[in-house]
Structure 1
Amino acid sequence: MSLSSPPDPGPKREADARAWYAIVIFALAAVLSYTDRLILNLLVAPIRSEMAITDTQVSFLQGAAFAIIYAFAGLPMGRHADRHGRRNLILAGIGLWSLATALCGLAQSYGQLFGARILVGIGEAALAPAVLSMVPDLFPPHRRGTAVAIFIGGMVMGAGMATLVGGILIDVFSLGALSGLAQSAGVAPWRAVLLTLGLAGVVLALLVATIREPVRQESLGGDVKPGLDTLRRYLVDNRWAFGLLLGGLTLTQIVDYGANSWTPSLLMRVHDFTPSETGTALGSILIGVAGLGTIVGGLLADFLEARGHSTAKPMVAAAAVSLGVPCLLFGVMPGVGLTLVLFTAYAFLLAIGAGVGIAAILDLVPSELRGMTTAVQAFAYTAFGLGLGPTLVAVTTDHVFADPLAVGLSISVTGIPLLALSALAMWRSLPHYRDVRQRLARAANT
């Protein structure tokens, strides 16, 4: 299998203003996507009360209901992104997940809410494969770390927006300016929050419609028609680089989804925070500090790569994750101050690892395989990360410690060993990553 490149436009291809505009809009899409995905983390108490369900059942809404279908839908979405228009795929995904988020707000039973979360998963499965397939066509290699970091920063900020904006909206619909509207309509505040987020998708779709589909910049040689078998053979041929790097990154997602899903409950149950206080504290950290982490990681990796360090991206990711391991002790800190300080450091470091880690995977594949590779990555992240992370913490809380106040201890004892294993796998991936990059460079120059 070889690579062929289009005529070289110059000594070094640069991104134009349209590319940067597109990545900013895609980052906004990621913000809304992750807000809709993670908003239930802040709505645990009212949903649990109204529907009389347990923490484990809530974790299925946070994880399994979304994760299973998201993981499997990503593969056909990625294949479509590799063969057809990617912008229109993003538009269709936004429409579906926004409608489904509104349906979550209208659900009258646990089953209906579970079903609506499945539809959110189908819609959101379109975004990452399509966007990350487009990034290398919009940006040259020495700008991709920053570009991917901006997009991943939108995901991180979305996690923060879910708590910050969610907390504000709950207050607005409970006691604020729109409380009368919600009461007159007979809509509970948590339902009004979900309906509002569904409507936000209309504005986002109008912005995405202004982006033009880019020309693919790198392609498989010959008459190869990319498909799942092509991807399978490519991944098998490069199994050590992909296995160690993707395996390590997937473990970080198990830990991160578990921590982010239950840290709001830690603050509210153990430290007596209100939903609004929780949203302000965690939202500010995730939007500001973690959002900054993705940008810092991308800039650092691009800086090192421009100076000849071919393994800069996975090396930066491995270092950040290694430093994040002791920060998971935030779950067992006695005071809220230490809890938030360690959580801030954890969020910053994991955001660095997430952004450059995804950029590292993109650098290992040609254009026609990027969508499906991203879908495989999303499958691993979602099936194992979102599918297992929240439930692993919840089951430990419910059945090991049998105490809702032990949720912080559950975060720490499940997360620390998994994050340490993740760091080890990523460090071990470096020589294999270098070998694959060198083979791709040689193939592109033949």
Structure 2
Amino acid sequence: MTAVGNDALPPEAPSSPRFAYGPVRAWAVVVVLLFAYAVSLIDRQVLSLLVQPIKASLAISDTQVSLLHGLAFAIFYTMFGILIGRAVDTYNRRNIIVAGMTLWCMATVACGISSSFAGLFIARMFVGVGEATLSPAAFSMIADYFPPERRARAMSVFSTGVFVGSGLALILGGVAIEATERYAGTSVPLIGQVEGWQLAFFAVGAPGLLIAALIALVREPARMEVSAEGAGVADSLAFFRRNGAALGTMMLAFGANGLINFSLSGWAPTYFIRVYGWSAGQIGAIYGTLLLVCGTSGIMLGGWIADRLVLRMGPRGALVTMRWSALLMIPSLAAFGFVSTPLTALIALGWSCFVLGLPTGLAPVALYSITPNQFRGQVTACYLFAVTMIGMTLGSTLIALCTDYLFRDETAVGRSLALVASCAAAVSFVSLTISQRIQDRAS
């Protein structure tokens, strides 16, 4: 495996097509972790479907709702992510996931117990802290269960949780909310009477504890591809200094992809509601299906292509796949907000979901090709920091600013989305191209 700088991995690192722990066990671990990822997305996003009843019950404003949805989750998710990433590089990763999943599931249930804005904010904060454990630990474990030439497909299967969880949150979340509404006013021991939105948090939070128990049965894999240097704080800082340019340009690209993802999920439904007069239920069901079908198909194909390229050209195969995926996004994203019928808009949205899925599972593969094992948790945490802060912070806001101040027309939200998302795709392509050239010169 080629590495940037002086961080080349030892020659005994496994590179044969054999699975270190057998294919059945390795893929079973991926599936269990996928379930956990899907649960995390559902627990994270169910709040967006409960805005109206929460506002009415707690008498809070849209601004306070936005703080619950964004700031309360994102700030603590990213702040604790760096610390958790270092723990992942040092301690038992399976146990970290179990502890984190137990925390975020209980915090989701606590959202249903909350009777004030402050209580709900604190509960959402702990959802973010708990969920920050999953991706760094899961990506690191999967990398140790699979050799490099099979890794992209395994990472991609796990990453389908992004679209599976988001799609199920849209499709099944509404069903769960409608079902729990029938039991509004039910008296719960130690809590008293609860409203429908509180029961919805109970319904999505509690089942995750079963998945946490299942993960406790997973074997912690041996750490592979460890370089000769140490894993102390000084070693970590030295690694990031040597590889900062290559890692930084990749993470900028991943952040741009995250911006596209958050932009579509945040504003595409509004575009159909405002421009074509669709109901929230209609676009929720259709968009959720597109995420499940098109997004998941893209992730799986991207993993297959990357593995084929890794066999032919080495570790850079994943990065090449991501570069061309970014280029393919631009036309459909640019066209999305300017088409004249809802059908053509859906076609553009479906293709965008598919192409956006292609690189979704490949970021850890590209990062790990230049990162020894003892730094992977920290690198993953930095990657998630970039995606969350750039995507969640800028995506929704830039589109709103374009709609309010550039086009000055709320029905122009589609054009705002097309402008911001297509520019982000171009930034992603350029950044990945620069990163590849940096790595090629250093190898």
TM-score normalised by the chain length of structure 1: 0.88
Distance change >3 Å, CA 191–CA 90, structure 1 → 2: same
1:35/1:161 contact within 8 Å kept? yes
Match of 1:258 in 2: 263
Unaligned runs of at least 5 residues, structure 2: 1-5, 188-192
Shift of 1:51: 5.2
- Kindly report the root-mean-square deviation, in angstroms, between the aligned alpha carbons of the 2 structures: 2.5
Query: Of residues 386, 392, 397 in structure 1, which corresponds to 2:392?
Result: 386
1:71/1:379 contact within 8 Å kept? yes
Match of 1:234 in 2: 239
Distance change >3 Å, CA 30–CA 298, structure 1 → 2: same
Query: Of residues 205, 221, 237 in structure 2, which corresponds to 1:198?
Result: 205
Match of 1:356 in 2: 362
Shift of 1:20: 0.9
1:310-365 CA-partner distances (Å, limit 9, x unpaired): 42211111111211122224244443222221111111111112212332112210
2:259/2:394 contact within 8 Å kept? yes
Match of 1:27 in 2: 34
Which letter does structure 1 place at the counterpart of 2:384? A
Does residue 156 of structure 1 match 2:163? yes
Distance change >3 Å, CA 301–CA 7, structure 1 → 2: closer
2:78/2:384 contact within 8 Å kept? yes
Shift of 1:22: 0.5
Which letter does structure 1 place at the counterpart of 2:152? G
Which letter does structure 2 place at the counterpart of 1:112? G
Match of 2:298 in 1: 293
Say which is worse superposed, 129-138 or 253-262, in terms of deviation. Answer: 253-262
1:96-119 CA-partner distances (Å, limit 9, x unpaired): 111222222333333333322211
Shift of 1:6: 8.3
Aligned runs of 1:320-339 on 2, under 5 Å?
320-328=325-333, 329-339=335-345
Match of 1:421 in 2: 427
Shift of 1:39: 2.4
Shift of 1:405: 4.4
1:392-440 CA-partner distances (Å, limit 9, x unpaired): 334555666666544434322322222211222112222223455x4xx
Query: Of residues 278, 282, 285 in structure 1, which corresponds to 2:287?
Result: 282
Aligned runs of 1:182-197 on 2, under 5 Å?
182-185=184-187, 187-197=194-204
Give me the whole-angstrom Cα distance separating, in 2, the residues matched to 1:46 and 1:330: 32
Say which is worse superposed, 105-114 or 80-89, in terms of deviation. Answer: 105-114
Distance change >3 Å, CA 32–CA 10, structure 1 → 2: closer
Shift of 1:55: 5.2
2:15/2:148 contact within 8 Å kept? no
Give me the whole-angstrom Cα distance separating, in 1, the residues matched to 2:416 and 2:132: 29
Which letter does structure 1 place at the counterpart of 2:297? L
Give me the whole-angstrom Cα distance separating, in 2, the residues matched to 1:60 and 1:339: 31
Distance change >3 Å, CA 45–CA 231, structure 1 → 2: same
Which letter does structure 1 place at the counterpart of 2:205? G
Give me the whole-angstrom Cα distance separating, in 1, the residues matched to 2:411 and 2:56: 17
Shift of 1:63: 2.2
1:63/1:391 contact within 8 Å kept? no
Which letter does structure 1 place at the counterpart of 2:128? G
Match of 2:84 in 1: 77
> 1:225 is paired with a residue of what secondary structure?
coil
Unaligned runs of at least 5 residues, structure 1: 439-446
Match of 1:91 in 2: 98
Shift of 1:189: 3.6
Give me the whole-angstrom Cα distance separating, in 2, the residues matched to 1:407 and 1:44: 21
Give me the whole-angstrom Cα distance separating, in 2, the residues matched to 1:10 and 1:412: 42
Give me the whole-angstrom Cα distance separating, in 2, the residues matched to 1:194 and 1:396: 34
Aligned runs of 1:368-407 on 2, under 5 Å?
368-397=374-403, 405-407=411-413
Distance change >3 Å, CA 225–CA 315, structure 1 → 2: closer
Shift of 1:48: 4.9
1:246/1:377 contact within 8 Å kept? yes
Match of 1:347 in 2: 353
> 1:354 is paired with a residue of what secondary structure?
coil
Query: Of residues 361, 371, 376 in structure 2, which corresponds to 1:365?
Result: 371
Distance change >3 Å, CA 394–CA 122, structure 1 → 2: farther
Shift of 1:2: 5.0
Give me the whole-angstrom Cα distance separating, in 1, the residues matched to 2:52 and 2:431: 37
Distance change >3 Å, CA 326–CA 42, structure 1 → 2: farther
> 1:355 is paired with a residue of what secondary structure?
coil
Say which is worse superposed, 366-375 or 113-122, in terms of deviation. Answer: 113-122
TM-score normalised by the chain length of structure 2: 0.89
Which letter does structure 2 place at the counterpart of 1:307? R
1:39-98 CA-partner distances (Å, limit 9, x unpaired): 233334444555566655544333222111111101111111101100000011111111
1:192-248 CA-partner distances (Å, limit 9, x unpaired): 3222111121121122112010011121215x2333x32232122123321221111
> 2:217 is paired with a residue of what secondary structure?
coil
Match of 1:442 in 2: none
Match of 2:141 in 1: 134
Match of 2:317 in 1: 312
Say which is worse superposed, 231-240 or 293-302, in terms of deviation. Answer: 231-240
1:149/1:298 contact within 8 Å kept? yes
1:263/1:408 contact within 8 Å kept? yes
Which letter does structure 1 place at the counterpart of 2:423? P
